[in-house]
């Protein structure tokens, strides 16, 4: 039996790389619609870089300090990424805001994962903010990337209930487990040709997603109910 075509995906990281690992693992299944061909980082000492190498995945580090300004760094990064001819660029804990020229070069094929139920809690410290707001549920969101920080079209969300006694770290670890499920799923949909980013929306199986696909066990009740 022939092996289905696995489309090349590159992953951009700045840190420990657990989502990267989950994507590499999923992509190494011969039946996966994608394979991670290269990992890029802006932090040469990122723990995820060693992890990628140990998983026999090509890596490249570009140091922002080696470039005169942000636009030159982004342009060099875009050139390097483009040389890998990726079907999709996947941000996985990449801690830099990418400039408009970078995003234009990969328009329609760049995704991010964010540790909250967007549009709630864009930005940093999402777990602490969800606890402080006394949310009953929390989770993670995969979305297409646009110039609006954490504001691009939403694709899929995984939800978890917030339990009494949850701390920032217990929440973070349960949300991370959700991330490791929903990210390979969304990347897979894209690489199977089921998911697109066009006309300012995410489209799945030919239909515009008015809301992200929902996965998870949290009860569907409002914070005020």
Convert residues 165-184 into a mask of x (bound to ligand GRF by CB under 6 A) and - (unbound). -----------x--x-----
Q: Which of 27, 33, 86, 115 touches ligand GRF (CB under 6 A)?
A: 115
Partners of residue 10 on adjacent β-strands: 38, 89
Looking at 52-60, 101-109, 111-119, 206-214, which segment touches ligand GRF (CB under 6 A)?
111-119
Buried b (16+ CB within 10 A) or exposed e, 21-35: bbbbebbeeeebbbb
Strand 195-198 and strand 213-216: the pairing is unpaired
DSSP string, 129-181: HHHHTT-SEEEEEEEE--SSTT-SPEEEEEEEEPPTT--HHHHHHHHHHHHHH
Number of residues that bind ligand GRF (CB under 6 A): 16
Binding flag, residue 93, ligand GRF (CB under 6 A)? yes
Cα separation, 13 vs 107, in Å, equals 19
CB of 14 to ligand GRF, least distance (A): 8
110 phi and psi, to 5 degrees?
A: -140, 130
Residue 92 is a binding residue for ligand GRF (CB under 6 A): yes
* Contact flag: residue 116 with ligand GRF (CB under 6 A): no
Residues with catalytic function: 114
Site string for ligand GRF, 72-91 (x = CB under 6 A): --------------------
Interface mask toward ligand GRF for 22-61; x: CB under 6 A: --------------------------x-------------
Angle of helix 168-191 versus helix 18-27 axis, rounded to 10:
30
| Gap between the Cα atoms of 57 and 24, Å rounded | 8
Asked whether position 142 contacts ligand GRF by CB under 6 A, the answer is no
> What's the closest the beta carbon of residue 63 comes to ligand GRF, in angstroms?
19
Shorter beta-carbon distance to ligand GRF: residue 135 or 199:
135
Q: How far is Cα 153 from Cα 143, in angstroms, rounded to an integer?
A: 6
* Residues of this chain that bind ligand GRF (CB under 6 A): 13, 15-20, 48, 92-93, 113-115, 140, 176, 179
């Amino acid at each position: 039996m022939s092996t289905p075509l696995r489309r090349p995906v590159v992953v951009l990281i700045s840190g420990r790389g657990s989502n990267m690992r989950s994507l590499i693992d999923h992509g190494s299944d011969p039946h996966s619609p994608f394979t991670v061909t290269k990992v890029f980082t802006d932090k040469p000492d990122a723990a995820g870089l060693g992890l990628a190498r140990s998983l026999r995945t090509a890596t490249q580090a570009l140091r922002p300090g080696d470039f005169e300004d942000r636009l030159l760094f982004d342009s060099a990064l875009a050139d390097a990424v483009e040389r890998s001819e990726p079907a999709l660029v996947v941000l996985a804990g990449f801690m830099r805001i990418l400039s408009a020229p970078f995003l234009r070069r990969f328009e329609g094929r760049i995704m991010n994962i964010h540790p909250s139920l967007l549009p709630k809690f864009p930005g940093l410290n999402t777990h602490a903010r969800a606890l402080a707001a006394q949310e009953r549920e929390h989770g993670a969101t995969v979305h297409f990337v646009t110039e609006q920080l954490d504001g691009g079209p939403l694709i899929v969300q995984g939800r978890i209930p917030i339990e009494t006694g949850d701390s920032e770290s217990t929440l973070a670890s349960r949300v991370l487990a959700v991330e490791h499920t929903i990210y390979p799923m969304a990347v897979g949909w894209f690489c199977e040709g089921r998911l697109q980013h066009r006309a300012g929306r995410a489209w799945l199986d030919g239909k515009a997603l008015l809301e992200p696909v929902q996965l998870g066990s949290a009860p569907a009740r409002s914070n005020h109910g």
